A and B are shown apart, each in its own frame.
Chain A
Amino acid sequence: MKIGLVDDRAIDLDKLAGIVSSIPEAEIVFATTSAEEAYEQIKKESITLLIADIEMPNLSGYELADIIHSHALNIAVIFVTASSGYAVHAFELNVHDYIMKPYSKDRLVQSVKRLMEKTSSAEIAGRLYIKQKNDIHIILKKEIIFIERSGRSTTIHTKSEAIKTYQTLNELEGELRERDFVRSHRSFIINIHCIKSFSLYAKNSYTVTFEGTEAKAMITKEKVEFIQNNYF
Chain B
Amino acid sequence: MKADHLSWSLISLFSAIHLGAFLYAFGWHSAIYILVLMLLAGGFLLVRLGNRQGASFDWRLEVLFWLVQAMIAAAAVMQESEYIRLLFFLLFLLVEVIRAIQVRKLSKFSKEINRLDEEIFRMNETFRTVRSERHDFLKHIAAIHFMLEKEEFKEAGAYLDVLVDGYNETNLSIKGESGAVAATLHQYYLKAQKEGMEIIYDIEVPISSMPVPDKELVGLVGNLLENCVEACLNWKKANQQHAFITLQLVKRSGLYILTVKNKSLPIPAKILDRLYHQYGLSTKAGNERGYGTKIIADIVKKHQGVLDFVYKEEEFTVKIKLPSIR
Question: Which residues of A come within 8 Å of B, CB atoms?
Answer: 83-89, 91, 96-97, 100, 103-104, 106-107, 110-111, 114, 118, 192-200, 206, 208-209, 221, 224-225, 227-229, 231-232
Which residue numbers of B lie inside 8 Å of A, CB to CB? Answer: 160-162, 164-165, 167-168, 171-172, 175, 198, 200, 202, 204, 241-242, 244, 246, 248, 250, 252-255, 257, 261, 304-306, 321, 323-326
Cβ A97 vs Cβ B306 within 8 A = no
Inter-chain contacts of B253 with A (CB < 8 A) = 192-195, 227, 231-232
**Residue on B nearest A208 in the bound complex, by CB:** B254
Q: Which residue of the partner chain, among B246, B257, B304, B321, contacts A110 with CB atoms under 8 Å? A: B246
- Contact residues of B: prevailing secondary structure: mixed
B161 touches A114 (CB 8 A): no
A-B contact pairs, 27 of them (CB 8 A): A84-B165, A85-B162, A87-B164, A88-B168, A91-B168, A91-B171, A91-B172, A96-B202, A97-B202, A107-B242, A110-B261, A114-B202, A114-B246, A118-B250, A193-B252, A193-B253, A195-B254, A196-B254, A197-B254, A197-B326, A198-B323, A198-B326, A199-B325, A206-B323, A227-B255, A228-B255, A232-B253
**Which residues of chain B are near A86, meaning CB under 8 Å?**
164
B324 A198 Cβ-Cβ under 8 A: yes
Complex Cα–Cα for A192 and B202 (A): 23
Distance in angstroms between the alpha carbons of A198 and B323 in the assembled complex? 7
Residue on A nearest B204 in the bound complex, by CB: A118
Q: How far is the CA of A121 from the CA of B12 in the complex (A)?
A: 65
B320's closest neighbor in chain A, by CB? A228
For residue B198, which residues in chain A have a CB less than 8 angstroms away from its CB? Answer: 100, 107
Write out the residue numbers on chain B whose beta carbons fall within 8 Å of the beta carbon of A228: 255, 305-306, 321, 323
Instruction: A192 to B252: give the CA distance in the assembly, Å.
Output: 9
| A85, B164: Cβ atoms closer than 8 Å | yes
B187: min CB distance to chain A, Å:
19
Kindly identify which residue among A85, A96, A103, A229 contacts B306, using a CB–CB cutoff of 8 Å: A229
| Known contacts A197-B325, A199-B326, A225-B306, A232 near B252 by CB under 8 Å | yes
**Given A110-B261, A114-B202 in contact, is the A83-B161 Cβ separation under 8 Å?**
yes
Q: Kindly list chain A residues whose C-beta atoms are within 8 Å of the C-beta of B200.
A: 97, 111
Nearest B residue to A104, CB-CB: B242
Distance of A40 Cα from B211 Cα, bound (Å): 44
- In the bound assembly, the distance between CA atoms of A83 and B165 in angstroms comes to 9
Q: How far is the CA of A106 from the CA of B244 in the complex (A)?
A: 9
Q: Report the minimal beta-carbon distance from B56 to chain A, rounded to whole angstroms.
A: 40
With A and B bound together, what is the CA distance between A96 and B257 in angstroms? 18
A200 to B306, CA, bound (A): 18
Contact A88–B164 (Cβ < 8 Å): yes
